[in-house]
Structure 1
């Protein structure tokens, strides 16, 4: 392969680029740099298209991105990027990431294979993914003696791997639409480097003022399982987005997994909003570097606030017990000589209570996964994507002004009770109907407003008693309603608390 013609992107190691000195027979020499455990392919402008792609080309508006090739005026239905093989430190676990735009009718699929003892594994898929259709990780993985994928993580079955290769498929069933691939990445948990060790090579005393959201006060049918999309919401809203946790969740559902905690899907969702985002195994210095850049980091933790139990690491001041949870690290600081990690923990009972300080040593034990969501700034030129896809609708009241029909371009959209209630599993009909009032309170982001959740009737109308709301909120003049749907634009309408519907 003509490796020089493939722009390999960025390598990120725990000490990449730093050379250590060692002595042998009184001769000083430079030791090789520590091998990077995360590989990013994030600029495709120098790719040899004939060597590494099939039916793909660089995007005309962004030469660093890949899109489907065209025949005449139509996009082809499928194209593939295959990266060169790349070396990694010895590992047993690998997580893949991608950033892609997926208009309606399009999707992407990322695969990886790993080199184990001189032999390649089979290709293993992270499933077809799109923000405009229900997405699913793989249910029945390849029968492979060397490796397997469970939801978001590839595991080497026997021995260890030292190489990997990535492959990305772009799909479209609409000849006028194409996915746009901005990034594909792989990160591994190195076997010969203990990420739990805190070298403290990076010094930072900073807390980033990211908005804090409690998942516990969101839509009750979603609230127990949306720590990951809530964490993503806080991270991107810290910059310039304004997404609701429920909107993030219903862009992030893994149908096969039956929930919202797929690590790869979560950072892909952030990428779909125009942010450079990927999942990585890292250490405390890796977090400190991000905080120093002004970028909060999502991390996967387990903890308990009961010191006398042995199931999970004890964290003083934590909100309860959790076997698996995502929270947002917003900083590092020291109080009375004790090191603390500042977090926004969505497990709290309120937004105000979500900002917390956890002792560094206790946090480190709780974060034994060493999995982190690295969410960077907007890609240049992609700023328009930072807001969720929302469409304005009319809400037409009945005579009593307590039931409202949704009208989109003269078409009635019905939201039935079955679509908004909690079921055994989420599906394409899953919907949240949330509303908030303009009662004079000012918030930094929409998600920090007080939300309530409406019911619907058998005719698919939203049930809101305008007179009761006016009595309870005399300072308010308008209700804003958000109809949040799975893999579809959010419908937004307003209701006047006067006599006329706005």
Structure 2
């Protein structure tokens, strides 16, 4: 079967040269002779299901998305999509992305294989992923002389790859539920096309207004490792979401990696909120095109603010040293003849200081990975997904109003100290208890408010001394508590500070 049969109506290769075509939604344009380094498959209505899928069908409510087949009104347990083989410029590294909805008891798994000189590698997996259970990248990769995967990056062991193929599995443990696949993508870092070179084919002088958050002031047990979810929360909250960095983090945890920075999982988390999101290797011009289109871009960097460091790229005005960090590029500008990149850098002491300008030449060296979070607009019809999953609870005070029992409907939710304390590893029980005060201040997003973090007692109650809080904040009228849980809805309760009738 010809490749064009699959690609009709499908977005192709969003490398720098094709980004403009994507934003015009022009699917009739022929791909250029130069092979794109990124392939995005997203309009599955173009697929010949009998040839490229097994037990999958088009979603009734969205003819571009894939779901599991039904037999007698029950979904089958597993189905798969295999893309056609696609050509790529010679590469060593490949990253994969997917956007999917995963109701309870459902999950997805994305795999890829590469071709080198006519030899195909084994299929390598990015692990099982879901927003309802703990996700995990592969703990032990397959033995393969051609390629291997480490967390989120497939690497060619010797020589270079020239082709790739993607495979997606959809699973359900509930015959009444199905995952929904919206997008699958792959991007490679070309060997013979130096993305570090700034061709400056695109000029832009624009900074996109975007809320800025510091990860350093978030829950202390999470703060050191949540640059990726903090970056994503800034990007989606600029549009129409209103999620806390901790909420995104606890839905973006990689159990195997024991962290929140898996690039592929990060884009899947954004996709699960209804945003078109994928990771790509790109250039400064690729960033400029995204800014022109109105979308900030997350990038992976390393830097130092010490010019005598000698080991890390020096960035004047940076906040410290980091060997691996995500920040959000919000624009480009020129001041007094010097080109700058505007960023929201969560490695700042507070939200206000997170907005920074880095010299373009220094930023370019710090962005040596050339990986970027391409977080686009909303999927039409998926608007209800763009807010975090939250449930309202009652907070029942003790007589002294110093401890509060959490009650969801008729169920008492006990929170044990080990759920919110620092541990060697995080797990399904991990939770954060954050609270903020309504004292008349105005904020664009909830995450820009000042948050404190509460403890619990041995009886599973939240410890909050209202008299003490009121003394410190006399103008506050309401206290809102967010019990943020790993891969579970956030529980939200409010307490009046103006009366004693909670």
Task: Name the TM-score class by shorter chain.
Answer: over 0.9
2:375 is the alignment partner of 1:375: yes
Does the C-alpha gap of structure 1 residues 501 and 90 become closer, same or farther in structure 2, counting only changes over 3 Å? farther
Q: Which residue in 1 is equivalent to 2:253?
A: 253
Offset of residue 463 of structure 1: 0.5
Q: Which residue in 2 is equivalent to 1:108?
A: 108
CA contact (8 A) 1:52 1:83 kept: yes
Offset of residue 311 of structure 1: 1.3
Matches for 1:419-430 after TM superposition, within 5 Å: 419-430=419-430
Offset of residue 284 of structure 1: 0.1
2:324 is the alignment partner of 1:324: yes
The structure 2 residue matched to 1:10, chosen from 6, 9, 12, is 12
Does the C-alpha gap of structure 1 residues 32 and 397 become closer, same or farther in structure 2, counting only changes over 3 Å? closer
Distance 2:158 2:110 in 1: 23
2:42 is the alignment partner of 1:42: yes
CA contact (8 A) 1:396 1:501 kept: no
Q: Which residue in 2 is equivalent to 1:345?
A: 345
Post-superposition CA distance 1:192-225 (Å, at most 9, x none):
1000000000010000010000000000000000
Post-superposition CA distance 1:42-62 (Å, at most 9, x none):
110111111011110000000
2:154 is the alignment partner of 1:154: yes
CA contact (8 A) 1:207 1:342 kept: yes
Deviates more, 1:188-197 or 1:9-18: 9-18
Secondary structure, in 3 states, of the residue corresponding to 1:365?
helix
CA contact (8 A) 1:17 1:33 kept: no
Offset of residue 32 of structure 1: 5.8
CA contact (8 A) 2:37 2:189 kept: yes
Offset of residue 73 of structure 1: 1.1
Q: Which residue in 2 is equivalent to 1:464?
A: 464
Offset of residue 14 of structure 1: 3.0
- Return 5+ residue gaps in structure 1 as ranges: 19-30
Distance 1:16 1:44 in 2: 20
Secondary structure, in 3 states, of the residue corresponding to 1:10?
coil
CA contact (8 A) 1:495 1:501 kept: no
2:494 is the alignment partner of 1:494: yes
Matches for 1:57-456 after TM superposition, within 5 Å: 57-456=57-456
Offset of residue 100 of structure 1: 0.3
Distance 2:32 2:57 in 1: 36
Runs (4+) off by over 4 Å? none
CA contact (8 A) 1:100 1:183 kept: yes
RMSD across aligned positions (CA):
1.2
Q: How many residues matched? A: 490
Distance 1:333 1:498 in 2: 48
Post-superposition CA distance 1:372-395 (Å, at most 9, x none):
000000001111110010000111
Q: Which residue in 2 is equivalent to 1:473?
A: 473
CA contact (8 A) 1:482 1:493 kept: yes
CA contact (8 A) 2:230 2:245 kept: yes
Offset of residue 10 of structure 1: 2.2
Distance 2:154 2:132 in 1: 26
CA contact (8 A) 1:331 1:341 kept: yes
Post-superposition CA distance 1:371-423 (Å, at most 9, x none):
00000000011111100100001111111111111111100111111000010
Secondary structure, in 3 states, of the residue corresponding to 1:247?
helix
CA contact (8 A) 1:121 1:147 kept: yes
TM-score calculated relative to the size of structure 1:
0.96
CA contact (8 A) 2:92 2:189 kept: yes
CA contact (8 A) 2:301 2:327 kept: yes
Distance 1:70 1:350 in 2: 51
CA contact (8 A) 1:92 1:188 kept: yes
Distance 1:329 1:46 in 2: 34
CA contact (8 A) 2:213 2:230 kept: yes
Does the C-alpha gap of structure 1 residues 157 and 440 become closer, same or farther in structure 2, counting only changes over 3 Å? same
Distance 2:236 2:414 in 1: 31
Offset of residue 470 of structure 1: 1.3
- Return 5+ residue gaps in structure 2 as ranges: 21-30
Offset of residue 310 of structure 1: 1.2
